[in-house]
Structure 1
Amino acid sequence: MPQFSRYQRVFNSIDSDCDGKVSSQDLLTRFAAVTGEHLTEEEAAAVVAAYDSDDDGLLEIAEFERFVEEGDGEGKEIKEAFKMYEMEGLGVITAVSLRRMLSQLGESRSIGDCNRMIAKFDVNGDGVLCFDEFRIMMLL
């Protein structure tokens, strides 16, 4: 049985045509769908170009893993952001803590909305975001 990457679920959700590869267009579309912010075509292309080791213009799972693990050039800021969202002292972001933080930022969301936001990046399926899952979310 093949071993799956700890990022496989997130990778699969970004891989729009399920071909085992992520294009800059996949990143562009996914970023906007998840964050509501728009990544420019140039930014998405730059991510793919930086981590595409076989020069096929696409990211395979190993290249995506490297992007997630090495691409965190703003690690300190992401760690600080995680601490802001993780309000319950559990070391994870729950729907309640996400809702509370979004409310403080002026964005009203229901618990259901927060659960759906978490589910998009909940790699291990435990219903909360650990730091690695949060980092993936912030990088996309």
Structure 2
Amino acid sequence: MSPLGTGDLRRIFENLDKNGDGQVSLEELNWLLEKIGIHHSLGELELSIGKPSLDFDEFLFFYDSISSEETMRSGGVESRESSGGDVNQETDLAEAFKVFDLNDDGFISCDELQSVLSKLELWDERSGRDCNSMIRAYDTNNDGKLDFEEFKSMMSITIS
């Protein structure tokens, strides 16, 4: 998982907090997780979090904990999922890749990236971000789009 800065996480939190109460409900959090290919029931999510909603600091802690878990998994540290973790991780990444690959051609273009980020309410035209530069940062063969291997690199996960 690519590390996000506090400003990025603040924008994600604010976009998830639809009613503006300073809390992200488990339903809102689960919606985001499903959009990026991580599927849990609300019951599982509530068991792991232990409460019905998160404030921003708790959201940061949640992000840090799932980032640490991914880092441990990608670094070869055995996770709770037994030796099938790499297979599950590859499957999760493939599902996430499919979310972005809208035309199912095996590549993520700038338009696809911007479209999905807009649907997730994580893209703001006023931010001045350029999806071409985002893609160029990980486009190792300079074809202007990301294939699955480049996507995995972007997600900073090494799968052996």
TM, length-normalised to structure 2: 0.44
Structure whose CA Rg is larger? 2
